[in-house]
A and B are shown apart, each in its own frame.
Chain A
């Protein structure tokens, strides 16, 4: 099982770029890397997903090195509303629904 490790917390200021790294040393060939955002009293919400190299969408970028043993979620120019917990998820939802492992989550605090 691809267990993940993330920093427990991070602080940032409005307008800065934030990079959150997740380690997943035992990632399998068919595993994808997915990041979720969670606000208090809400369910997690999908941010971005990737397999290798770089993926970018309207809210974030995901960087995955060639060995895929880690990944970095990059949030450009954060605002106060980005204060949330961010989870890294590694797994193959196609064939191993029971093998999905969430990380501990990184609590991001954005200050004015």
Chain B
């Protein structure tokens, strides 16, 4: 593994189903993030984690939950998917401190029907 990987690449999901998007990084970065990207709205932060064991809410956290059991993994869970959660989801990571750039994964395209 090099950088950030996300799984699945894409998924079609029935409304009401539970879904977990996976994100793994091998750069030993402290901070990790989940964004959603919708046409015309740019990137919006869902949840973040500054270090393993801690998480925080971003701009649009409702309907999503995250956990950070270790440094490398940061899964995003939709407990009961709704059509408005149809989006492209990007995971990112960065080192600690203001100088550190964010490295993004390739994204997961999720469609909720």
- Report if A and B associate in a common complex: yes
Min CB distance, B66 to chain A, in Å?
12
Number of residues on chain B facing chain A (CB within 8 A): 32
Are the C-beta atoms of B90 and A93 separated by less than 8 Å?
A: no
Alpha-carbon distance between A51 and B99 when the two chains are bound, in angstroms? 9
Which residue of A41, A43, A46, A102 is within 8 Å of B101 (Cβ)? A46
Closest-CB distance, A89 to chain B (whole angstroms): 8
Main secondary structure of the interface of A (DSSP, over half): loop
A45 in contact (CB, < 8 A): yes
Size of the chain A interface, CB-CB below 8 angstroms: 24
B interface residue numbers (CB < 8 A to A): 4, 31, 33, 35, 40-45, 48-50, 56-59, 90, 92, 94, 96-107
The 7 A-B pairs of least Cβ separation, nearest first, read: A43-B104, A46-B101, A97-B48, A102-B43, A98-B56, A94-B98, A94-B97
